[in-house]
Chains A and B, each alone.
Chain A
Amino acid sequence: MSDDFSALLAHMQADFLDEFPERCNRLEEGVMALEQQEADAFDELYRQIHSLKGAGGMFGVPVITTICHQFESFISEARHGFDRKACDSALRYVDLLRKSGVDRDASAVAVIEEELEKLRTSSLSGRASVLLVEPSAAMRQLYQQIFSAQPVRLVTLESGLAALERMLHEHFDLMLASRELPDLNATALVAAVRESGCRNSDIPVILVSSNKAAVPAYLRITALVPRDTNLAANISRYAAELLARCSPYYRK
């Protein structure tokens, strides 16, 4: 039975890859429809990308899932100002998908992943990516206000484990976290990220805490900010300094 199923699955995988270029063409049409601001264009494009995201991994081409994941986030963020530039970026995602259906050996996948990372950085148009990990809604609101003046993309999470999972998959330029978090506290989170060897293992970190106990040096915390009346001013200052370092002018 298992052999029969393997044979059938191989057949379905082959069908999926045969139809894949056609699905990429439909994505391209979807991107053009979104640029023309046609009704329901966003929902339709999102549905198509989401569908490929599920199928890619299941049919043994996980890089399709990785590209679609980023593509999905990109169109969600760009949907309200989907101009020519956003359209160009979206079409580059479609091109990467096309390649991923053709070149599937490890070295080709590595090249695709590299291009994907470049696309992510360029589609941020110079904006830095900040991960905010804070369980309190009031504090999150405060930080959002502070960052609203900065050219950043802010991703907000509430727990240490959720932040760890996200950091293992997505690059950020700065993390701002409360020292005490549900699931996994921020020191354990930072230790795990530093040890992981992922793209974020050298990320600058601002920790906010009312706990004044020193943090171990090996965690390389950039700033430990007390939760006091100067909190907002301190965060603004550190964030501005750290973000200046990762702006396009400083980026290699």
Chain B
Amino acid sequence: MTLKRILYAEDEPDIQAVAKLALEMLGGFQVLICNTGIEALEKVQDFAPDLILLDVMMPGIDGPTTLLRLRADPATAGIPVIFLTAKVQPSEVLQYQSMGALDVIAKPFDPMGLAAEVKKIWGRNHA
């Protein structure tokens, strides 16, 4: 399966802008940015992404809670998720993987390398 459409839930405007451009221009993906986990849950079915990127710390419901809600709905339960977090601790990575996340990308990420990192994680899981 080819990766085309990415939904990214992130509350920081600076990071939203850079990530959207990086994923579109360097990865060739179609990207929908959502400001909150709630907005992601509202828009996920219409946008039908191949992959969801979730910031861990967001106001309202955080990334892990958003993942649990995605998993609870049969229509969205199968969409792969990658977390982005500033606090990458081994125990945290294991916890997110046990929740079903593909992987965790550390913040701050390198804008030039973000699309390649997403592709690498996707390729590892969809070989």
Contact of B14 among A4, A16, A65, A161 (CB under 8 A): A16
**A170 proximal to B (CB < 8 A):** no
Residues in B whose Cβ lies below 8 Å from that of A161: 89-91
Identify the closest chain B residue to A47 (Cβ).
B59
Known A51-B14, A161-B89; contact A8-B25, beta-carbon cutoff 8 A: yes
Number of residues from A at the complex interface, CB < 8 A: 28
A71 → chain B, closest Cβ, in Å? 14
Q: In the bound complex, do residue B91 and residue A58 qualify as a contact, i.e. CB atoms below 8 Å apart?
A: no
In the bound complex, what is the Cα–Cα distance between A50 and B25 (angstroms)?
A: 27
**B111 proximal to A (CB < 8 A):** yes
Q: In the bound complex, do residue B14 and residue A9 qualify as a contact, i.e. CB atoms below 8 Å apart?
A: no
Known A51-B14, A54-B108, A58-B14; contact A5-B90, beta-carbon cutoff 8 A: no
A101 → chain B, closest Cβ, in Å? 14
* Chain B positions 8-49 with a Cβ under 8 Å from a chain A Cβ: 12, 14-15, 17-18, 21-22, 25-26
A227 → chain B, closest Cβ, in Å? 24
Q: In the bound complex, do residue A58 and residue B15 qualify as a contact, i.e. CB atoms below 8 Å apart?
A: yes
**B61 proximal to A (CB < 8 A):** no
**B86 proximal to A (CB < 8 A):** yes
Known A1-B25, A51-B12, A51-B14; contact A56-B108, beta-carbon cutoff 8 A: yes
Interface residues on B, range: 20 to 34
**A139 proximal to B (CB < 8 A):** no
A112 → chain B, closest Cβ, in Å? 18
Residues in A whose Cβ lies below 8 Å from that of B14: 12, 16, 51, 54-55, 58-59
**A248 proximal to B (CB < 8 A):** no
Residues in B whose Cβ lies below 8 Å from that of A151: none
A72 → chain B, closest Cβ, in Å? 10
A214 → chain B, closest Cβ, in Å? 29
Q: In the bound complex, do residue A54 and residue B91 qualify as a contact, i.e. CB atoms below 8 Å apart?
A: no
Interface centre among B18, B21, B108 (most CB of A within 10 A): B108
**B107 proximal to A (CB < 8 A):** yes
Q: In the bound complex, do residue B108 and residue A57 qualify as a contact, i.e. CB atoms below 8 Å apart?
A: yes
Q: In the bound complex, do residue A58 and residue B90 qualify as a contact, i.e. CB atoms below 8 Å apart?
A: no
**A102 proximal to B (CB < 8 A):** no
**A183 proximal to B (CB < 8 A):** yes
Question: Lowest 9 A-B CB distances belong to which pairs?
Answer: A57-B108, A55-B14, A58-B108, A5-B25, A161-B90, A162-B89, A54-B12, A51-B12, A1-B25
Binding site for A on B (CB under 8 A): 12, 14-15, 17-18, 21-22, 25-26, 57, 59, 86, 89-91, 107-109, 111-112
Taking A5-B112, A54-B12, A159-B90 as known contacts, 16 extra A-B pairs with beta carbons closer than 8 A to each other, sorted by chain A number, are A1-B25, A2-B112, A5-B21, A5-B22, A8-B25, A9-B21, A9-B22, A47-B59, A50-B57, A54-B14, A54-B15, A54-B107, A58-B18, A58-B111, A59-B18, A162-B90
30 contacts between A and B (CB under 8 A): A2-B26, A4-B25, A5-B21, A5-B22, A5-B25, A5-B111, A5-B112, A8-B21, A8-B25, A9-B18, A9-B21, A12-B17, A12-B18, A50-B57, A51-B12, A53-B86, A54-B86, A54-B108, A55-B12, A55-B14, A56-B108, A57-B108, A58-B14, A58-B108, A59-B18, A62-B108, A161-B89, A161-B91, A165-B89, A183-B90
